[in-house]
Chain A
Amino acid sequence: MLNYADQIKEKVRKDLLNLLEGVRGKKNLVVDEDLAGPLGLVSKYSTLQQYGVDKVFFLERKNIDASQKNVVFLSRGESADRALAIAEQIKRLQQESQIEHEFSVFIAPRRTLVANKIFEEAGVLGDISVEEFPLYFLPMDVDVLSLELEHSFADLFLHRDPTCIYTAARALMLVQQKHGLFPRIIGKGDGAHRLMEMLFRMRTEASVDDKSTKSTLGTLPSAVIESLIIIDRDVDFGTVLLTQLTYDGLLDEVLGIKDNQIEADTAIVGPPPGQQNATTQSALKRKLTIDSSDKLYEQLRDANFAVIGPLLNKVARRLQTDMQNRHSNMTTAELRQFVNNLPGLQAEQQSLKVHTGLAEDMMKFTRNTTFTRVLEIQQNLAAGVDPSTQHDAIEELIAKDTPLLTVLRLLCLESCFFGGLKAKDLEHFKTLILQAYGYQHILTLDALERMQLLFVRTGNIFSNATSQATTVSKTNYNYLRKTLRLLVDEVNESEPNDIAYVYSGYAPLSVRLVQCVLQKQYLLSFTKSSSSGSSSSKSQPPSTPGISSAAHGWQGFEDALKAAKGQTFNKIQKGADEAVTKARAVLGGGGTGGKKTVVVFFVGGITRAEIAALRLLERDNPIRDILICTTSIITGNKMIDAALEARTFGGYGE
């Protein structure tokens, strides 16, 4: 597999350090809070110090001091607010400070006209040097790249601001520049379509731009990348609203993972290493980095939470025997081997302790009656049970003052899965919610409606026939549940054989769509056999590459796609020089059988459970690697939170 993640990490790091090096001497660094986390993924504070960074400030706190002559701002440039804040801070410092500062502004990912205009209007443009910091993809893991645009979901679906699609297109252009054109671009959804169009447009534009740099772009399709599959989030909101049941999915739901870090009580995970003796800090929070550098976590993360207990036990026992081996008689060679392994074992033990703590904490959470109730409602809705049977349960949750996010998630889930709520029901629930959580949520509910998450049912969604129109306005889960077998009754959680394991029985539609392209045989096997007997389909091996390669794109699943929201497309990118392409195909691109990469891009965010499902897909697909790209990693809560009105009446201090 091409190691995109490391390449990108290295590049971002170098770009950043080069920029810092460009400012001579010591400097104070001001970052915006959105960017601070992502930067932590690529470089450590100590590295920044080596490059002359004295203190780090957050732009939002407005507390930059005049301790250094050089002040460096590092911020995202797409939003005008940031540029305004920077201009304001510069003016403040210029007025207050005794010394004459040198200001540098690094804007990620590109210098914008709007920021320029703002600096100009604020009268600071002449005093600052503005540089671009080309930060696009950030490596979340070896196979996951994220733009880490935290607000991309709200921007896309609430504010209808497609900036992040443009950023995504530029990011993908960089991938194409390095590895050649995507030979085929397949996708579903309007946002996806937009992204595809932009990629084509940028390609023609690049041929005008790049004349001097003589890049390889615009000439040849890639030899290492097979295709790009783009899935728009709004094709499948439903999946996100379900509670993720993989280990790291659940961690994200419960504790929240931000930039591969979680914050947990030291009481649960133990104090950080090296501070074991400090007894004073008992109730402190501790930040933990969790990524695939932790071998244990790598084994755990994608497993269904139900099997985490046994998995941890197994590891614990193995570690114990490994450690106990030292008491048995060993030759000196064995002893040396053991000593060499010791640091690894110790690290593993440490990590085992952490994850056992976390798993126990989660277990406590999942045993909570509310959690089980919510899960039960979710499973029923996913299974297509008449939603009105669930309403009493939801009402009870409201009456018991369950967090609003949880309640809204359930209502939105119903709305997504069943094409809306009946007008009477919706009105009823709205009243209940306003009474229970406050009338400020008129705004919340309205926002959810605008996001197409909560709406009144129109027409009869229960019909199984696909509509005649080429695109439908809402995804028809009821139809897709059968055609793509979203529901898998007996799912093996410990040794997963279907992606449905990530939601304990529900297969995420988004990933099923990817399977429509990559695992046609597998999908067809049970959609056909579902009439004869579904149990036989499970034993069937996944697709054999020989057959599936005959069909391209969406072929074979056109009907299913018609039932999902948004445009469907399948485009081929040809090289400018046809002859060269052919020649290369003859010379070696074809027969060598090297693994090719499929890039899967989720516009608007992907859940960790979906990532786990895609990894299973990769495991069952020996001829391809899958590189997962997204605008951000989301959860159902983050999705609803975008709409949530945080203010309340009151606080007037009477």
Chain B
Amino acid sequence: MSNPTVDWGRVGDRYYRKIKLYEDVFDPELELENYIVAGAPYAGAIALYRDESKLQTWRTTQSAKTGIDIYSCAGKLIRRINWDKGSIKGLGWSEEEKLLVVTEDGVVRCYVDLQNDFSQFSLGHEAEEYGVKSCKFWASGLVALLNNNRLIAVTQYTNPRPKLLAAVPTESEIHSWGIIPPQHTNSRSVEVLLAIGQSIYVVDTSETEDRMLQNGPFHHISISPNGRFVALYTEDGKVWVVSSDFQEKLSEYDSKAKTIPRDVQWCGNNSVALAWEDEIHMVGPSGASLKYFYDSWIHLLPDVDGVRLITGDACEFLQKVPDETEEVFKLGSTAPASVLLDAVDQLEKKSPKADDNIQLIRSNLDEAIDVCINAAGQEYSIPWQKQLLKAASFGKSVLDLYNSDEFVNICETLRVLNAVRDYRIGLPLTYDQYLRLTPARLIQRLINRHEHLLAIKVSNYLRLPTDKIYIHWACQKVRTSKEDEDTICKTVVKKLSDKNGVSFEVIARAAYDEGRATLATQLLNYEARAGKQVPLLLSMNEDNLALDKAIESGDTDLIFFVLLQMKSKLPLSSFFRMLSTRPLASSLVEASAASKDRSLLKDLYYQDDRAIASSNLLLSDALSSPSLSTAIDKLKLSHRTLAESKDPSAVIHQKHLVETQQLLKAQESLARDLDTSYIGLSLNETLNRLIRNGYSKRATKLQSDFHVPEKIYAWIRLRALVSARNFGELEELAKARKSVIGWEVYFEEILAAGNTRLAGSFVSKCSHLTAQQRSEMLVKCGLIVEAGRELVKVKDLPGLEALRDKTGAGADGVEVERMISGLKGGRR
């Protein structure tokens, strides 16, 4: 076990360490200085592209084609992407490890999964016209600088919308530039820093602002990962660190170099790395520095908490030594954690000093354990991880109470980290990077590298869902397997059948995209969600199947969707034929067509031989007709539709339709003759109006024409006459001997109209009622005397007395009193 401090270097009062992650990274033949290198954040993949501006020795062995090579950090070639789309002006990565390639004419290609699968969009007209000069990338977007000094920003790649930023002086030369990602700016939109002339300009979506600096031109601008500091490299070889709002100058360092460094990048948030061809200066906060020398070309790949250094034969990571690590390992450290580490060492030597050590730090033991655990997390060397955890474990055993969650957590995480740091995988994540990346995205990275087995193991270990991995595996299998389709289907199904929540639809789509249609259909049958099957089936032209699946899902929206597609695709007759066996689909078509597409409905009814429905449709048209004549025409048509139908209810319908026309015609002639409108009224209303207006004869004619029942007619006449206050005619009616609706209703209606005299005259005709009832009716009319007489007829003495009490004094009272006494007398 080598001393962990051996690769430490001191910058001011801080320590930096340079960890050698992998050796023999690249083919020695590869001349790294001739390549543009871009590294994905969080120890992601590295993309190499031959720098076109550099001369190239021509070799017959190399293929003439240029390409972008994607390597892991350990130098394993993951994928070679052939490139023939012209000059590349920007090569970068997003946080999701999407590779972005920007060409001179403003086309952006976004390679999603480290493979050949890409989406493409254009930066717009202006980029096409003037050409892209260079690009800068942040976690989720990019900014492109055009040759006319305009800037275009894209903030996300799933649904990209390139946006022009505010204009900058077009003629001036831009010495260098940098971007502050949106999450770190006040405006929440990306800000671009441009070194123009002596000064720096800040550009965002709406405005350009000159920061009024005098020490330019600045050859490098670099923004710290947290967006709060900017490093500037001045003409006279100095590095300035200023706050990103340019209000405060934090430090200055004189590199004393004659040549301008090739690259300036932040290493974490508190130091800046300057790179020349084979030399690196680390500049710390107070202007202190550390120098590293190499014998080959170096590339800097900045990350959130450090910088990866790529040379032809090694991949190294340069970072500030984490506080915990420093506390434990710093030479001469007397921190409790350091003592604890020593204690476990003594323990192994079976020395009693172990206990002395523990006693020494007894009071701070829990803190010491915490530090050891965290230091283990920060450690790349597995033996040291073990030693630190051992120390923590030893310390834990001494304490009565200690929450071991963090310990368990770190152990789990370290297992995962060590697994992915293996050179065969090549993801040298630091602990902090792992936390920021999140386990789920780590799994996605493994999937993208086709490390399915490891992905599943890690998922199971961390209790994460595994379905995505299985699906990806199956898609890969479907795409690449040479076996016959049945076997593939069997293998896939066998592997996935007991896995919960696997979407076969995605796999089927992959098969279909690969041109394996039968396999796709086979696989689709295993999809649990009917709804998900539909779109694929539609694109496979399996329309009927798609419709059946949609119906099965019960989602009417989906059914509609399929129906819309089918209607536009199929000839009408086959569309209807397809509907005829599917009642649900048919009724949906019917319901939606009723308001939007009546001709479709007409055809549908005709095809289905639904005479009554067809006829009703025409009747409904008649109702919305603009004029009477068209309405009658429609009614005739409606009537004719039913002519051939043998359905008994069709016969009744026909009769009603004939009457409808008759009535309309009769109303038309009435309107002509009588100068009042009758059209639109119902038959009863027409009769009512005729009677009210005094055309009783016409009403009677209409009644007999339409066979209105006597009873109904009597009611209509009564109500019409009453409402017209035509009491004369009512009196005439009273002369009739019989009434089909009885005389009582006449009494009630007339009484309600307030004509008590006339109402009273009907009472005597209600012969089926008792005298008492009649008497009551008369009382209601105010005819007390007559009421009394009715009672006298049946000799109802108590009734009379009650009547007298109700009436009280007055002429009527006297008369009633007289009747009472008369009755009494009669009895006596």
Interface residues of A (CB under 8 A from B): 78, 80-81, 112-114, 117, 155, 159-163, 165-166, 169, 194, 197-198, 201, 204-205, 207-212, 214, 395-396, 398-401, 427, 430-432, 434-440, 442-443, 446, 645, 647-652, 654
Contact = CB atoms under 8 A, between A and B. Distances in A.
A593 B501 CA distance: 36
Nearest to A426: B652
A446 B656 CA distance: 12
B500 A211 contact: yes
Interface in B553-581: 553-558, 560-561, 564
Interface of B: 465, 467, 500-503, 528-531, 553-558, 560-561, 564, 583-584, 587-588, 590-592, 594-596, 612, 616, 619-620, 622-624, 626-628, 631, 652-653, 656-657, 659-660, 663-664, 671, 677, 679-685, 706, 708-709, 711-712, 715-716, 719, 741
Given A113-B561, A652-B627, 8 more contacts: A78-B557, A159-B590, A160-B587, A205-B528, A211-B465, A399-B716, A432-B709, A654-B679
Contacts of A435: 682-684, 706, 708, 712
B670 to A, nearest CB: 12
A395 B529 CA distance: 55
Nearest to B660: A439
5 contacts: A114-B564, A159-B594, A160-B591, A204-B528, A398-B712
Contacts of B709: 395, 432
Contact of A209 (B529, B681, B683, B741): B529
Nearest to A439: B660
Given A161-B556, A205-B531, A446-B612, A654 B671 contact: yes
Contact of B680 (A81, A155, A431, A650): A650
A516 B167 CA distance: 77
A355 to B, nearest CB: 31
Nearest to A158: B591
B335 to A, nearest CB: 41
Nearest to A646: B623
Nearest to B631: A649
Contact of A647 (B595, B624, B656, B741): B624
Contact of A442 (B596, B628, B656, B715): B656
Contact of A211 (B467, B628, B712): B467
B554 to A, nearest CB: 5
A78 B620 CA distance: 25
Contacts of A212: 465
Contacts of B679: 649-650, 652, 654
B682 A166 contact: no
Contacts of B619: 440, 442-443
Contacts of A432: 709, 712
Nearest to B745: A396
A651 B715 CA distance: 27
Chain A, interface SS category? helix
Contacts of B530: 201, 205
Contacts of B594: 159
B650 to A, nearest CB: 11
Task: Return the 4 tightest CB-CB contacts between A and B, nearest first.
Answer: A650-B680, A399-B715, A211-B501, A159-B591
B680 A78 contact: no
Contact of B616 (A198, A209, A437, A443): A443
A624 B561 CA distance: 43
A400 B717 CA distance: 11
A438 B712 contact: no
Nearest to B620: A443
A348 B109 CA distance: 70
B554 A169 contact: yes
Contacts of B564: 114, 117
B715 A439 contact: no
Nearest to A431: B656
A501 B815 CA distance: 50
B659 A434 contact: yes
Nearest to A80: B592
Contact of A399 (B554, B624, B711): B711
Contacts of A80: 560, 592, 596
B155 to A, nearest CB: 15
B653 A198 contact: no
A113 B656 CA distance: 43
Contacts of B664: 649
A520 B590 CA distance: 43
A159 B587 contact: yes
Contacts of A155: 591
Contact of B501 (A208, A399, A443): A208
Contacts of A446: 612, 616
Nearest to B586: A160
A649 B556 contact: no
A161 B588 contact: yes
B501 A654 contact: no
Nearest to A163: B556
Nearest to A194: B554
Nearest to B562: A113
B556 A651 contact: no
B465 A439 contact: no
A649 B680 contact: yes
A439 B556 contact: no
Contacts of A208: 501-503, 528-529
A446 B617 CA distance: 12
B493 to A, nearest CB: 15
Contacts of A81: 595-596
A210 B659 CA distance: 62
A129 to B, nearest CB: 11
Contacts of B681: 438, 650
B560 A649 contact: no
Contacts of A443: 616, 619-620, 623
Given A208-B528, A442-B656, A162 B556 contact: yes
A114 B591 contact: no
A72 to B, nearest CB: 20
Contacts of A652: 626-628, 679
Contacts of B554: 162, 165-166, 169, 194, 197-198, 201
Contacts of B616: 442-443, 446
A211 B440 CA distance: 13
Nearest to A396: B715
B623 A645 contact: yes
Contacts of B626: 652
A161 B587 CA distance: 7
Report which residue of A112, A159, A165, A211 has the largest number of chain B beta carbons within 10 angstroms of its beta carbon.
A211
B640 to A, nearest CB: 16
Contacts of A207: 500-501, 528
Contact of A210 (B501, B622, B628, B653): B501
A155 to B, nearest CB: 8
A398 B684 CA distance: 10
Nearest to B588: A161
Contacts of A439: 656-657, 659-660, 663, 682
Nearest to B612: A446
Nearest to B688: A401
Nearest to A434: B656
Contacts of B712: 395, 398-399, 432, 435-436
Contacts of A647: 620, 623-624
A648 B715 CA distance: 24
A204 B554 CA distance: 14
Nearest to B553: A201
Contacts of A434: 656, 659, 682-683
Contacts of B467: 211
B268 to A, nearest CB: 33
